[in-house]
Structure 1
């Protein structure tokens, strides 16, 4: 794609913003409305690629457009247009002027973010998640790279490539295959790992992982071995955040640990409740919870023999604040699920194409 490429006689591609395994994102100009936008393009695949896999990728791309376009909230990236030009599927979105949370941690030399910033981000993301869930949509791949903080302080959730529509389970099955877990290892819920039913509470667990990382500088299970990471999520109580960073408020630690409960029923009921709780804490910083949860530091992969078969031979990918395993091969579908940034990947999405 050259700089002068004009899509549908309207969107002029200007600068390449980022590249994923299957596509690219460009800064572009909408010639009709005279504004700058982001254009996400799915690159056409050659004849040597599996046709079924190609079909799944194209369905996922269309799905992202459909899901994101249905959402109207200040905390969710706006989709303006979708179509196909010369065999290339494209998605036109608002151009975000900011940094994702993974980049913010890198900008901060991999140190945690200020507590005030963590709480502000937490409240905004909780409100956006509440809206998504109330529309029957589960994101399923919430991670630092998929949350962007704009220069004006607004926080937005992006990338709905593997989101699930509550009323569209059959379509989801065609995209993922029955029982196939999807997500990024450092941010996956126990039920995602087990291939169990996933609902809005899985997003809450992933959100807890994100808050843990931006508050402490490390993910809950900071391990390079994928097997140990998965077992940690499923079986091991996370190390309390204040053991990493003593100055964190006790109420913030309590919120994070509640989100990281292994059983979905033990997490907050919904993101709306979570948003109200965070707002109340911010308004009353002297709040002290009834008690602080404790648990052993994450250990080795005990009980790993009970992990599902799809985990065998898997690698962790790159967490937001570490180098991870540099030898990890790129997942060919990663371009549809969070790799739209000009930086090293934060972790592949685990999936198997539908047969």
Structure 2
């Protein structure tokens, strides 16, 4: 489904398809092509200092491209360690804000930023990020379809742990969706893409930013006038997670009918006035139905908190070994398919 975004601040999409290079187009001069080195025995990424330069890395592939910049898969020449390099172009202020937020975080449930590498003379900002080998949940869904409940419970648990970490530090993401949550073949789930995230002055602060992906916005973000022009950003993150979990379970965007065009008007009617789709008897467990319902209360004051959801039976009573294995299998199947194509 094509996502509708507000035009005034387009964000980099990690899962965008990569268009072919036009005939005669010059390669990116930021990376010097060199022969691939023989991998060393130890290839575990190590912390990098600010002394590293873009020229220390070889570009291997484009992972995603958007109007704001490009994400590359890169290899450090000396150690052969692999990373994701997110280059935001043209001095976009969102790039500096994202780098600042990521510099505050150190959680296994949030994508790690190893270093910020300035691109001399260009105004670009390059963030050297950990490479999450399974890609985004959106790319996994596009290849595998709907997620099994066991894998979904693990996604919910780890994404909630990431949100709990961020919210405890007054960081709100404001753009949780399948494209911005990554998974690894080890069964790890990590929140990524902090391009529109905010750091609040105080824990109870309201928010007035309405930039984001409209399909995942909560009702109070879609209709600010009905809520005094501000909203609880923590509750907004919970709504977005609920839509994300429901989408992964259904295998398609859940708040519109299958095949319906996601126009602004259609999305506003669905988000602000429509009901969440009823899941057929036996299709979903009562625990999953209850979890999604707790996330998708129209009234944000009745919406479950992250702490409530971490204690919800869908998450708290899951068999951790079974759910993690189910997620690992799902990601591994996608990785295997990608290597064979």
Paired position in structure 1 for 2:222: 193
Please name the residue that 1:50 is paired with: none
What pairs up with 1:170-319 in 2 under 5 angstroms? Answer: 179=208, 181-195=210-224, 196-222=230-256, 223-224=260-261, 225-240=263-278, 242-243=279-280, 246-268=282-304, 270-277=305-312, 278-282=314-318
TM-score (norm 2): 0.70
Shift of 1:79: 0.1
Aligned to 2:108: 74
Give the aligned length.
261
Asked if 1:105 corresponds to 2:141, the answer is yes
Structure 1 match to 2:182 = 148
Is residue 32–residue 55 contact of structure 2 (8 Å, CA) maintained in 1? no
Equivalent position to 1:42, from 74, 88, 92: 88
1:181–1:194 contact (8 Å) kept in structure 2: no
The 8 Å contact of residues 83 and 130 in structure 2, kept in 1 or not, is answered as yes
**Is residue 2:193 matched to residue 1:159?**
yes
Farther off after superposition, 257-266 or 224-233? 224-233
The structure-2 alpha-carbon separation of the partners of 1:148 and 1:192, relative to structure 1 and needing over 3 Å to count, comes to same
Q: Counterpart of 1:289?
A: none
Task: Detail structure 1 runs of 4+ shifted over 3 Å in the superposition.
Answer: 5-9, 31-34
Contact 1:192–1:198 (CA under 8 A) maintained in structure 2: no
Distance in 1 (CA, whole Å) between partners of 2:174 and 2:303 is 16
State the 1:9 CA deviation: 4.3
User: How many Å separate the matches in 1 of 2:202 and 2:78?
Assistant: 34
1: CA distance between counterparts of 2:186 and 2:298? 35
Deviation at 1:193, TM superposition (A): 1.0
Alpha carbons of 1:159 and 1:233: their partners in 2 closer, same or farther (altered >3 Å)? same
Tell me which residue corresponds to 2:153.
119
Instruction: Write the distance in 1 (CA, Å) between the matches of 2:135 and 2:118.
Output: 29
- The answer as to whether partners of 2:70 and 2:88 remain within 8 angstroms in 1 is yes
Using CA pairs below 8 Å that are at least 6 residues apart, which structure has the higher relative contact order? 1
Which of 129, 133, 139 does residue 167 from structure 2 map onto?
Answer: 133
Q: TM-score w.r.t. structure 1 length?
A: 0.68
Once the two structures are TM-superposed, the CA of residue 8 in structure 1 deviates from its matched residue by 4.5
Residue-by-residue CA offset, 1:210-243 (whole Å, 9 max, x unaligned): 0111112232312423212112211222122x23
Q: How many Å separate the matches in 1 of 2:232 and 2:242?
A: 16
Query: Quick one: structure 1 residues 280 and 90, their matched pair in 2 at CA, closer, same or farther if it must change by over 3 Å?
Result: closer
Q: Is the 8 A contact 2:159 2:189 kept in 1?
A: yes
Structure 2 unmatched ranges of 5 or more: 1-27, 34-51, 225-229, 321-337
**Mapped partners of 2:232, 2:62: distance in 1:** 35
1:93 maps to 129
Unaligned runs of 5+ in 1: 45-53, 170-177, 285-341, 343-355
Deviation at 1:32, TM superposition (A): 5.5
Aligned CA-pair RMSD: 2.6
